[in-house]
Structure 1
Amino acid sequence: MDALGLDSEASGIGHYIRALVSTYAARYPDDVVKAFVQPNVSLDAVDCLAVAHSLSSRGRIWYEQRQIPRRLRHEVYDVVHFPDYQLPWLTPLPRTVMTVHDLAAFVLPDVFPQSKTRVKQFLMRRSVRLARRIIVPSKATRQDLIDILSVPPEKIRVIPHGVKPLGRPLPERVYARPYFLAVGTVEPRKNFSGLIRAYHLLRERRKDVPDLVIAGRLGWMYEETLALPAKLGVAESVKFLQYVSEEILSALYRDAIALVYPSYYEGFGLPVIEAMQMGLAVITSSTSALAELGENSVWRVDPRDIDSIAQQMAEILDNSDEVARRCVMAKLWAGRLTWDTAASLTRQVYEEAALGG
């Protein structure tokens, strides 16, 4: 497996790689799993093939295109899994599986730096043609692959991500005052600017509004989002915590009033499932893969409708009985998604790719 996307501050893809590999290795101990990793990154129960030096994003592309094929000449393997959008096309490999988490670079190209969009589009177009099988986490992403990149449906397998318990939460509160919570990398696609505007609107309408806490590392094109609370006069009530550990994140979920996740577009939506697992009320978008999560146990919004987001936040503040009912439903729904199931289905895909079926 190409696990070069793992780092110390794991993103959604990093969580996917670590959870899938560790669960797979535990479930199938007779299968030999080897992973290419960055220096000082380890994976339990896996033979790690570390690169010599830390790789930048551009360096990763070069290594995946040139060095992984060269190193695999000296390895005996059944299948190679590329879990982060791209696989070698300069030196194509046989029996490859790739995971496509979303097609945001095509659906919302303006929310990425232009150079990043062009590179991702270029690599994905070529990679999906070469992969023997493609794993996606949702029906929405499957349909995007078919509609946008004309991928044959028979190559695609839908395998929802699992959800594992977060680390044991810190016993004390991380944030003293009551708060709404938002989780995710601070970048335009997450629509944190829209959330902050909705929060400001809610505060204009009523006085009993909790704070807004945003937990997630800084990504790209985030300057406007960071400046917005001061511009709207709510800087004292909106807090950016940036990257937090699992223990802190778990405590934030535990003590929050609700998770508000009005992302424009997602291939899955891990924070939504994490919050549901913790029994937390969730407001999320009615678009993309987010529409597949939680059925009637979550509150839905149009991510471009600021008033809709503010209204649903008010609904949660005013209707404790409905919140309690939906939280029970949400926890049961999230419990259906396990990494054991994801690992089992992924192994079936490996077998298909290895046999050429």
Structure 2
Amino acid sequence: MASAGAEADLVQWLGTDPPPYFLFLATLEPRKNIGRLLAAYAALPDRLRKEHPLYLAGSFGWREAEFSDVLKRLVEIGEARILGFVPDPILPALFRRALALIYPSLYEGFGLPPVEAMAAGCSVLVSNVTAMPEVCGDAALYCDPVDVSSIRDGMLRLAEDTDLRNRLSQAGRARASLYSWDRTGAEILALMREVAKG
């Protein structure tokens, strides 16, 4: 859980006390499906885009020309904000203040940002492909990453359904605890003891 000090540091770092925002945390490049995410966000009702801006955290990767026009337009009208690199001490507060993490990645080995978000109690919308179903289990809302309307519909559900967000927040904290260093260390130690017994 983020401390009050971390929350204040986040507000200072952002330069504003933000409204509940959709958060994307990854390198801004095609394999992270940024183009479809932007199209899905742009397809949300005007009211929701005004209430819930899209914050993009991460550096630009390759082929940014494929999505730069849409992103530039969203930034110009105040519906998106590019955060760039986010310092590690601020990340838990960034997740806590978010309405939801949106992570429709096309290619993923493990997907650490959704686990970090879940640990902070942030609801997540993730791809129904790659490792995401195995990593997130029943603690996430899923979308088809190649279907813009599926991503948009997931964002819409998260924006409008407080009970869903609360359920995902609770389930996410429990799911993220499966990936803690303490738990991993204890499991490795138990395995080593079992092997030593012969």
Does residue 293 of the first structure (1) align with residue 130 of the second (2)? Answer: no
The answer for the alignment partner of 2:62 in structure 1 is: 220
**With structure 2 as the length reference, what TM-score do the two structures score?**
0.81
Q: What CA distance in whole angstroms lies between the structure 2 residues aligned with 1:328 and 1:335?
A: 11
Q: CA deviation at 1:297?
A: 1.9
Root-mean-square deviation (CA, aligned residues, Å) is: 2.5
Answer 1 or 2: higher relative contact order, Cα 8 Å, separation at least 6: 2
Tell me what 1:312 maps to. 154
Q: SS of the residue aligned with 2:146?
A: coil
Runs of 4+ in 1 over 3 A off after TM superposition: 165-168, 340-346
Q: How far did residue 206 of structure 1 move?
A: 4.2
Kept after mapping to 1: 8 A contact 2:59/2:84: yes
Q: Which of these two proteins has the greater Rg computed from alpha carbons?
A: 1
Identity %: 33
> What is the deviation of 1:170?
4.0
Partner of 2:74: 234
AA partner of residue 339 (structure 1): W
Number of aligned residue pairs: 182
Q: Is the aligned partner of 1:331 residue 2:173?
A: yes
Structure with more helix by fraction:
2
- Give unmatched runs, 5+ long, in structure 2: none
Encode CA deviations 1:235-258: one digit per residue, 9 max, x unaligned: 221111111101222221111100
What amino acid is the match of 2:37? L
Q: How does 1:76-87 map to 2 (within 5 A)?
A: none
Alpha carbons 2:2, 2:120 under 8 Å: kept: no
1:166, 1:246 within 8 Å by CA — same for their partners in 2? no
Q: Does 1:171 align with 2:8?
A: yes
Q: Does 1:280 align with 2:117?
A: no
CA contact (8 A) 2:2 2:93 kept: no
Aligned-partner SS, 2:48: coil
Structure 2: which amino acid aligns with 1:324? N
1:208 equivalent in alignment to 2:52: no
Does the 8 Å contact 2:124/2:168 carry over to 1? no
Report 1:15-94 matches (<5 A). none
Structure 1's 228 and 345: CA in aligned 2 closer, same or farther, altered over 3 A?
farther
Q: Is the 8 A contact 1:284 1:290 kept in 2?
A: yes
Compute the displacement of 1:166 (Å).
Answer: 8.2
Gaps of 5+ in 1: 1-164, 353-357
SS for the counterpart of 1:186 is coil
Give 2:31's match in structure 1, choosing from 173, 176, 189. 189
3-state DSSP of counterpart to 1:313: helix
